[in-house]
Amino acid sequence: MPPGEAHAGGGDAVEDVLQLLRTGGSRITTSRRLLVRTLVERGEHATAEELASQVQSEAPDIHLSTIYRNLEELERRGVVSHAHLGHGPATYHLSATAHGHLVCEGCGAMHEAPDELFEDFAALVAGRYGFVVDSHHFAVIGRCARCTAAERGAPEVG
């Protein structure tokens, strides 16, 4: 595969999603094609606004509200998920590339967490409450190693 189109599958992934939309009775529009392509290229958490920016770099007229509507549609089809990572806006990504997140409340750094990290916890919660954890849908908040270390030296309030 040529460099620059790294992400497994490349354009095929885009076509797969578009086909899914088509099959479901949705229409394939420029905004949807570009949005799906953007999502595949990023493969990573991005806010609606970031996605819009990138889409708009190719088609400036596509409105942010259209991005929101399309994301909603894609989410309804199960192609996309969104997560609320602490404060700021929600982030979106393809369900296929979904994973958990560790977000540092000190510096805001975000770390990706493999599903496997949540396995035991999910099993525990399921066993005890019958609650099925969706580890992709929320961020685990806490303090990263660096911030934890930094705090040992300097106290917080002045």
Partner DNA sequence: TTTCCTGCAAATAATTTGCAGAACT
Partner DNA sequence: AGTTCTGCAAATTATTTGCAGGAAA
Q: Which residues bind its own copies (CB under 8 A)?
A: 24, 76-77, 84, 86-87, 102, 104-105, 111, 113, 117-118, 120-121, 124-125, 128-134, 137-145, 148, 157
Containing 33, the helix (H) or strand (E) segment is: helix 30-42
Residue 61, binding choice from DNA, its own copies, none, Cβ under 5 to 8 Å by partner class: DNA
Joined tokens for residue 157 = 């309030």
CB 139 within 8 A of CB 84: yes
Rounded to the nearest 5 degrees, what angle is found at the Cα of 88, between the Cα atoms of 153 and 115? 80
CB of 123 to DNA, least distance (A): 31
Q: Does 70 bind DNA (CB under 7 A)?
A: yes
Q: Does 28 bind DNA (CB under 7 A)?
A: yes
d(CA 52, CA 30): 13
Residue 105, binding choice from its own copies, DNA, none, Cβ under 5 to 8 Å by partner class: its own copies
CB of 132 to DNA, least distance (A): 23
CB 45 within 8 A of CB 101: yes
Question: Which of 54, 118 has the CB closer to DNA?
Answer: 54
Q: Does 89 bind DNA (CB under 7 A)?
A: yes
Residue 144, binding choice from DNA, its own copies, none, Cβ under 5 to 8 Å by partner class: its own copies
Rounded to the nearest 5 degrees, what angle is found at the Cα of 70, between the Cα atoms of 77 and 112? 70
Q: Does 57 bind DNA (CB under 7 A)?
A: no
CB 85 within 8 A of CB 35: no
CB of 66 to its own copies, least distance (A): 21
Residues ≥6 apart with Cβ < 8 Å to 131: 125
- Per CB under 7 A, residues contacting DNA are 22, 25-32, 47-49, 59, 61-66, 68-70, 72-73, 88-90
